[in-house]
């Protein structure tokens, strides 16, 4: 096996440079007294010294004249990289959730009445805003029918909260909107006459095959929001349920330019700091209900 020559440059790096020249200008040198009979013995001892010093101070890095740092420094650097990678992963996950946020679930129109302030929920009846001349006919769009049913469900629930006699007429109006639908007469019978059974969740669940949930939820919110605007109920608009319904309205597809402009204006009004301008909010809600209910 070939003998590895001594790395004199590395040995000089480890044991230090020679001392400076003396005052008389003569060159100073290191003297190492080694008891050895042959040159090979001296080289073996020097190689052992180099190995010992490197074991203590760390081997020299490849392509570098710097020594390997202590293990504690390396561990700290590795820990820092792990923490940085974890923070990046969290940021990517949060951003992906924002980009792929699921759409809001349509609100149950009856449950929106519970979000109203008690005084607003029990306030006077508020007639929904839509064209009475259209009535119930084949020309009424699927979205318009669902929007009307949502608004009527809100007023139906408020009639029971007030304890007045308008509930039967509202129940009959819901049944009339279902009459032209397949199996609509059977479902409409649950609401006809405005009995207490029509307030149960089972009655509203029966509407699912006949009425689209999203426009019905929007119709319920528009009516409840009109009641809240008339009663200066700022808490209703600040609620999570109301904000989700507004998001559903803003994302509704296939609307006219007038509806799109009015819903954007409504969004600006409700985003302003402080109490909303309830008169302007009410006007926007009336226009939106009138347009979407046909």
pTM: 0.66
User: Taking the alpha carbons of 233, 238, 239, 243 in that order, is the dihedral positive or negative?
Assistant: positive
- Digit-coded pLDDT (tens) for 219-271: 999 999 999 999 999 999 999 999 999 999 999 999 999 999 999 999 999 99
Q: Which of the 8 DSSP states describes residue 18? A: P
Q: Which pLDDT does position 144 carry in this prediction?
A: 94
pLDDT bracket for residue 86 (50, 70, 90): confident
CA 28 – CA 238 distance, rounded (Å):
87
| 197, 203 Cβ separation under 8 angstroms | yes
Q: Which pLDDT does position 100 carry in this prediction?
A: 47
- Digit-coded pLDDT (tens) for 112-151: 999 999 999 999 999 998 866 444 545 789 999 999 999 9
CA 122 – CA 200 distance, rounded (Å):
19
CA 226 – CA 147 distance, rounded (Å):
14
Q: What angle do CA 190, 157, 276 make, to 5 degrees?
A: 145
The structure tokens listed for 293 are: 């209910």
pLDDT of residue 294 exceeding 80, the answer is yes
CA 169 – CA 175 distance, rounded (Å):
10
Residue (of 164, 287, 176) closest to 225 by Cα position: 287
| 174, 153 Cβ separation under 8 angstroms | yes
- Digit-coded pLDDT (tens) for 245-257: 999 999 999 999 9
CA 177 – CA 200 distance, rounded (Å):
19
- Digit-coded pLDDT (tens) for 149-174: 999 999 999 999 999 899 999 999 99
pLDDT of residue 97 exceeding 80, the answer is no
Name residue, tokens 């019978």: 189
Q: Which runs of consecutive H residues, i.e. helices, occur in 58-122?
A: 71-99, 109-115, 118-121
CA 250 – CA 40 distance, rounded (Å):
89
- Digit-coded pLDDT (tens) for 66-77: 555 555 555 555
């Amino acid at each position: 096996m070939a003998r590895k020559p001594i790395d004199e440059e590395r040995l000089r790096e480890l044991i230090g440079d020679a001392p400076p020249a003396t005052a008389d200008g003569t060159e100073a040198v290191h003297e190492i007294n080694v008891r050895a009979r042959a040159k090979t013995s001296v080289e073996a001892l020097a190689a052992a010294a180099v190995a010992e010093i490197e074991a203590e101070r760390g081997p020299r890095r490849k392509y570098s004249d710097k020594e390997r740092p202590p293990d504690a420094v390396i561990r700290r650097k590795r820990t820092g990289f792990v923490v940085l990678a974890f923070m990046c992963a969290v940021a990517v996950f949060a951003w992906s959730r924002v980009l792929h946020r699921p759409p809001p679930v349509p609100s149950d129109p009856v449950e929106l009445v519970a979000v109203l302030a008690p005084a607003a929920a029990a306030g006077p009846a508020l007639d929904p805003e839509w064209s009475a001349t259209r009535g119930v006919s084949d020309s009424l769009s699927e979205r318009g029918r669902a929007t009307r049913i949502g608004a009527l469900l809100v007023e139906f629930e408020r009639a029971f909260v007030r304890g007045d006699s308008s509930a039967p007429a509202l129940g009959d109006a819901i049944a009339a909107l279902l009459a032209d639908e397949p199996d609509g007469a059977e479902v409409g019978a649950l609401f006809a006459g405005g009995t207490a059974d029509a307030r149960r969740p089972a009655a509203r669940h029966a509407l699912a095959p006949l009425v689209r949930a999203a426009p019905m939820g929007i119709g319920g919110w528009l009516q409840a929001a009109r009641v809240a605007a008339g009663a200066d109920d700022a808490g209703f608009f600040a609620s999570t349920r109301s904000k989700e319904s507004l998001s559903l309205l803003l994302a509704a597809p296939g609307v006219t330019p007038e509806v799109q402009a009015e819903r954007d204006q409504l969004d600006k009004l409700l985003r302003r700091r402080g109490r909303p301008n309830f008169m302007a909010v009410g006007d926007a809600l009336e226009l939106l209900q009138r347009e979407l209910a046909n």
